[in-house]
Amino acid sequence: MLLSDLLPFSDPHLYGLMALLIGGSAFMQGVGGVGFTMFAAPIAAIFCPDLVPGPLLTLGGFVTLLTALREYRAIAWASVGSALGGRAIGTIIAVFAMAHLAQQPLNVLFAVLILIAVVLSAAGMQIATTRSNVGVAGLLSGIMGTLTSVGAPPLAIALQHSSPPTLRATIGAVLFCGSMFSLLMLSVTGYYGRHEVLLSITLLPFMLLGFSLSGRIRKKISPARIRQVLLVFCALSAVGLIVKTIWPDA
């Protein structure tokens, strides 16, 4: 097997940029419980489209598993169940959309919904962590995650008032299970195969390095600060998705 079979591009400088991006995204995931695909997906979609959604879902799925395992005692299992029920439905909808519908309107619609939710949250609106709200968040997460690999923002908004360990661990559990189901559906429909698996393996060491470094400071950040950072992440990911959708060659 040639190295060119593994690397998503031949330019070593670009490979280094993607490695840095994956490591930094994993670091933010370890600190705040979300952030991996929010950072990585918009940039990867511009410079290396082959990474979206399959390889980023693979890497994101395993980094969220590490997040959940590190603080597994804090997982809110009731919220996990509600979110996964919605996530499964959203994944099926997304796979159908990939096969039959135009992706551009869907990307813009869900990005706009994220921005609306962020504005309402930042304005002080309380979004109760009810089973129905978490289920809807899971539904949106399934659609967005399968289409773009960015599935955390709806969950972060629905669970934003949870304690930091609960937020990180619960979102981690949902995203890991949800990502595995999304990858299964993508594989069945021909959107995830050997090429995507090899791309994932290529960048795996940088994901593990970034996550391991996050353990040094994750307990030093206040809950209020984490909430602010989460909302900024959500907004940036939504804007990035809109820009990439409207100006794919930008």
pLDDT tens digits, one per residue of 59-113: 999 999 998 998 999 999 999 999 999 999 999 999 988 888 776 787 787 778 7
What proportion of the chain, given as a percentage, has pLDDT over 90? 37
* pLDDT, tens only, 125-147: 677 889 999 999 999 999 988 88
pLDDT category at 192 given cuts 50, 70, 90 is very high
Which of 86-95, 162-171, 212-221 holds the top average pLDDT? Answer: 86-95
Quote the distance between the C-alpha of residue 130 and its chain's center: 22
User: Most distant CA pair in the chain: distance in Å?
Assistant: 55
Say which residues have a Cβ less than 8 Å from residue 172's Cβ, sequence separation at least 6: 33, 64, 65, 66, 67, 68, 69
**Residue 52 φ/ψ region, left for φ over 0, alpha for ψ in the -120 to 50 degree band, beta for the rest:** beta
CA angle at 42 for the pair 125 and 68, rounded to the nearest 5°: 65
Mean pLDDT of 183-211: 92
Write the single-letter amino acid at 144.
Answer: M
Q: Which residue has the higher pLDDT, 19 or 6?
A: 19
> What is the pTM (predicted TM-score) of this model?
0.83
What pLDDT does residue 3 have?
A: 47
